[in-house]
Each structure stands twice: as C-alpha cells, then as structure tokens.
Amino acid sequence: MRGRTKASYYEVAQLLATSAPPRLRGEIIRYYRTLLAHWGPQHWWPAQTRLEVIVGAYLTQNTNWSNVEKAIANLRRARVLTVSGLRSIPLRELATLVRPSGYFRQKARKLKTFIRFLDRNYAGSLDRMFVQPTDKLRVQLLELNGVGPETADSILLYAGNHPVFVVDAYTRRIFERHQIIPAKSKYEEMRSLVERALKTSPDSLRVELSAPDSSHHSPRHPVSPMSRMARSELAQHYNEIHALIVRAGNEFCRATPRCEECPLRELLPKRTG
Ligand code: SF4
C-alpha cells in the first residue's frame, strides 16, 4: 500500500465546494514544472486552423493520433477542411475520407452535426461562436451528439483559447497511480483540481528551460499556426500541462508503466511499511 492517506481523498472531494487545498495545489504545480523542465513547450495543437483542431478533436475519439493525421490529410487533399467544404460534401464521401480514424460513419455524422450547430447558432462563423462566454459555449457543445467533456474542452481550449483544462485518460491514470485523486473521480473533479491549482501567481509556474538537447528536451510537434496563436497566460498553461501529461502517458505511463525512465518517477508516493 502506498503512503498517501484518506485525508487526501477527502480533500479532493471538497474541491468543487471550496478552493484546492494549498498542498494539493502545490503538488499539481510540481508535476507541471517537472514535466515542463524535462520536455519544454510541446506546441500543441498541431493544426493550421481552428476548424482543423475541431475536426481533430472529433476524430481522435477512440483512436491514436497517427490515424487522425491520415484522415485530416485526406480532408485537406479533398479541399473540404473548411466550414463550407464540410457543409457541402455528401455524408458518404465525408465518411470515406475520415475512414482511417475509425468509427468513420459515426464521426462523419458528428462532424455534420457540428456544422449544422454552427450554422444555426452562429451563422457558420467560428469567430461568433468563440466569443461566447466559456460556460455558455461549453454547455452548448456538450449538448451536441458525440461531444463529451474531453472533446468540448479540447475545442474550447485548443481551437478557441478558452481557459479550460482538458482531462484525458492519461490524466486519470497518472493522477490515480500517484494517488492524487481517488479511483473513479469524476471528470469535473479532475478538471477543477488542475484549473484551480494553476490559477496561481505566474511566477510559481515559470520554469527555467535549459537549452534543448536531442535526447528528450524537445516538442513532439513542430510549431504550428494554432500552437503559436495569441492566448491568455492561463490558457497557455492549460494548453501546456495537458500536452505534457499526454506525452508522459504516451511514452511512459502505459498499461505497464515504465517508471524508471519517466520524468515523474521522483513524484511517485513512497511506499510505507
Ligand atoms: S510511468 Fe511515470 S507517470 Fe506513470 S506511474 Fe510511473 S512515474 Fe508515474
């Protein structure tokens, strides 16, 4: 049995009602600073446009990113990676183009649903959609078929630069393995935990980055028009911490964890007894 006490779990349960306890807040910041110092900025999301981010957020459901890239490349080649392109392409053709991402008929339908939503509510304009208050837009997105919290928050953060943290399966796995959260914590609890932790003084989040070297201190993706878009400092931290967690999960925190090589190994709770 690892060392953290039930008191930690109680603290997490209180998060939605109160602010994050200082110790837990400090812990999240330590994870962020450790990953950032190790890998540096990740330049997520690798996309040319906001619509490409949105399409990617749908297509990445239940598949890996390399399959999404193939589907996106098909859409780009067919010149339909625009609102008007997705509006006018027949559903069956769209499904064929997104086939590499799996569940392609469902995903094509979901993309069509999003375009209909955009047309009905915002006259087909992403500008009009993204100037909405975060909470209002989040509720609207969550009402769409095929949009769960992770997809909604990915769209809000990475396409719209709204300050929300995206929780994914790696976040849950790492936080559970490190006993930061109890098993089966709700998405909103984890989102709230990280968002509150990073709403802190900017100085405590700053990390001195050493010169990149070829071994590990490098982004997973090259800088893209979307990764270098102007955004608030807070949105940038949420952007970065999610990308870093995904990388830690993807490279080390797999079904069988590779803790010896992982930058978070020093933060594993100590065994007692
Ligand atoms: S692989 Fe890394 S993140 Fe996962 S449990 Fe081990 S040290 Fe923690």
pLDDT tens track for 55-103: 999 999 999 999 999 999 999 999 999 999 999 999 999 999 999 999 9
CB within 8 A of 48, min separation 6: which ones?
A: 224, 225, 226
Q: Decide whether any atom of ligand 1 lies within 6 Å of the 259 Cβ.
A: yes
The CATH-assigned architecture of domain 50-159 is Orthogonal Bundle (1.10)
Position 111 scores a pLDDT of 98
The atom number, within ligand 1, closest to the CA of 248 reads 3
The atom number, within ligand 1, closest to the CA of 264 reads 7
pLDDT tens track for 2-53: 444 434 444 444 444 445 566 788 889 999 999 999 999 999 999 999 999 9
Position 74 scores a pLDDT of 98
Position 68 scores a pLDDT of 98
The atom number, within ligand 1, closest to the CA of 174 reads 3
Where along the chain do its domains lie?
21-44+166-206+216-267, 50-159
The atom number, within ligand 1, closest to the CA of 257 reads 1
Position 260 scores a pLDDT of 96
Q: Decide whether any atom of ligand 1 lies within 6 Å of the 38 Cβ.
A: no
Residues 110-135, mean pLDDT to the nearest whole number: 98
**Nearest in space to 166 (alpha carbons), one of 64, 59, 65, 239:** 239
pLDDT band at 220 (very low <50, low <70, confident <90, very high): confident
Position 270 scores a pLDDT of 82
Residue written as tokens 């749908």?
Answer: 58
Mean pLDDT of the chain: 89
CATH class of 21-44+166-206+216-267: mainly alpha
| Cα(207) to centroid(ligand 1), Å | 21
Q: Decide whether any atom of ligand 1 lies within 6 Å of the 178 Cβ.
A: yes
Q: Decide whether any atom of ligand 1 lies within 6 Å of the 244 Cβ.
A: no
Which string of DSSP letters, residue by residue, matches the chain? -BS--HHHHHHHHTTTTSPPPHHHHHHHHHHHHHHHHHH--------SSHHHHHHHHHHTTTS-HHHHHHHHHHHHHTT--SHHHHHHS-HHHHHHHTGGGSSHHHHHHHHHHHHHHHHHHHTT-HHHHHTS-HHHHHHHHHTSTT--HHHHHHIIIIIT--S-PPP-HHHHHHHHHTTSS-TT--HHHHHHHHHHHHSS-HHHH---PPPP-SSS-S-SS---TTTTS---HHHHHHHHHHHHHHHHHHHT-SSS--GGG-TTGGGSPPB--
pLDDT band at 127 (very low <50, low <70, confident <90, very high): very high
| Cα(266) to centroid(ligand 1), Å | 9
pLDDT at 222 over 90: no
